[in-house]
């Protein structure tokens, strides 16, 4: 396929070494592997956090066998995104052509390219499938990951960090996880999400996220009836952290959030998704119901504190 010939040079192999210490204080090297996507000819490579976190060293290899020492720029365990940097010297690295993952539709062709078992051979391994579902949430060993692309293009463990292409040869996702024992199911992080995280890591070395500072529950009919709530939908605040943006505006437990900036909200994932798209310092307006009183509360978002 012409797409594969043009796209393969942007896919790299990442071999890692992690130093593991046993109960007797003996240190032994443990090797790992994965894939990556060249996102900048200057040597920036997009990959998964779980591939490169806590590594002692890493070697990045291109499809033609050229090897580079990889340096970690930054990682984000929450999204499983990381950025690695190599010094290409006189070598011309080919950056991937990025698509718009917001335009993906179920049923579209998907092409997964990567390094499934650590052998580049004469090029990476390719599997073809379709987009099976969007906005999927999975529980993995590394945590809960939201808004993933589901594809039936087979994704092996070493394919993690590699690209998911559309039929135009544009990267629409970064392959990140497959569910053990679930045949034919693979997941990718939307490229728009991955690149947003990557830019934060390159610029700041970490991901700077806006913070509202509440915990809550989406109101169901059962919840409303049980607690005799004054609203049948919205978000019931179960905790507002004292020094958080919400807490500073005197939002408290048992308040009900009905909407944010004019948009109805029915669960915490919906509210969290909206807040993630904002910047630190942005002001959002919540419609709060407290008892029989209802009105707007303006909240200026702050940076999520380090836990």
**What is the set of active-site residues?**
50, 80, 160
Q: Is the dihedral of CA 129, 132, 136, 137 positive or negative?
A: negative
Look at residue 302 and give its three-state secondary structure: strand
Contacts 24+ apart (CB under 8 A), 223-229: 229/256
In terms of Cα–Cα distance, which of 238, 233, 203, 230 is closest to 289? Answer: 230
The alpha helices in the chain, defined as continuous H runs, are 2-7, 49-52, 191-204, 221-227, 245-248, 268-276
H-helix or E-strand containing 130? strand 125-140
40 backbone dihedrals φ, ψ, rounded to 5°? -155, 130
Q: Rg of the Cα trace of the chain? A: 22
In terms of Cα–Cα distance, which of 124, 147, 152, 144 is closest to 34? Answer: 124
| Six token digits for residue 136 | 């999927």
């Amino acid at each position: 396929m012409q797409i594969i010939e043009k796209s393969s040079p942007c896919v790299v192999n990442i071999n890692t070494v992690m130093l593991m210490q046993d109960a007797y204080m003996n240190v032994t090297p443990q090797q790992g592997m994965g894939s990556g996507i060249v996102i900048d000819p200057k040597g920036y490579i997009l990959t998964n956090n779980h591939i490169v976190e806590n590594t002692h060293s890493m070697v990045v290899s291109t499809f033609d066998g050229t090897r580079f020492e990889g340096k970690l720029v930054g990682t984000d365990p929450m999204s499983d995104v990381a950025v690695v940097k190599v010094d290409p010297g006189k070598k011309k690295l080919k950056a991937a052509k990025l698509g718009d993952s917001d335009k993906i539709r179920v049923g579209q062709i998907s092409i997964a390219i990567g390094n499934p078992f650590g052998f580049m051979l004469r090029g990476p391994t390719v599997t073809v499938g379709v987009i099976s579902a969007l906005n999927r949430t999975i529980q993995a060993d590394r945590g809960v990951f939201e808004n993933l692309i589901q594809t039936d293009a087979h994704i092996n463990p070493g394919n993690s960090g590699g690209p998911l292409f559309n039929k135009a040869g544009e990267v629409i996702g970064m392959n990140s996880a497959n569910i053990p024992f679930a045949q034919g199911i693979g997941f990718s992080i939307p490229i728009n999400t991955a690149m947003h995280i990557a830019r934060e890591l390159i610029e700041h070395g970490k991901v700077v996220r806006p913070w509202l500072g509440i915990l809550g529950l989406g109101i169901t009919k059962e919840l409303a009836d049980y607690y005799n709530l004054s609203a049948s939908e919205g978000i019931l605040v179960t905790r507002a952290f004292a020094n958080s943006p919400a807490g500073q505006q005197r939002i408290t437990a048992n308040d009900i959030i009905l909407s944010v900036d004019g948009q109805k909200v029915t669960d915490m994932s919906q509210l969290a998704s909206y807040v993630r798209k904002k910047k630190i310092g942005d002001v959002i307006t919540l419609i709060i119901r407290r008892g029989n009183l209802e009105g707007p509360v303006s909240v200026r978002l702050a940076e999520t504190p380090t836990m």
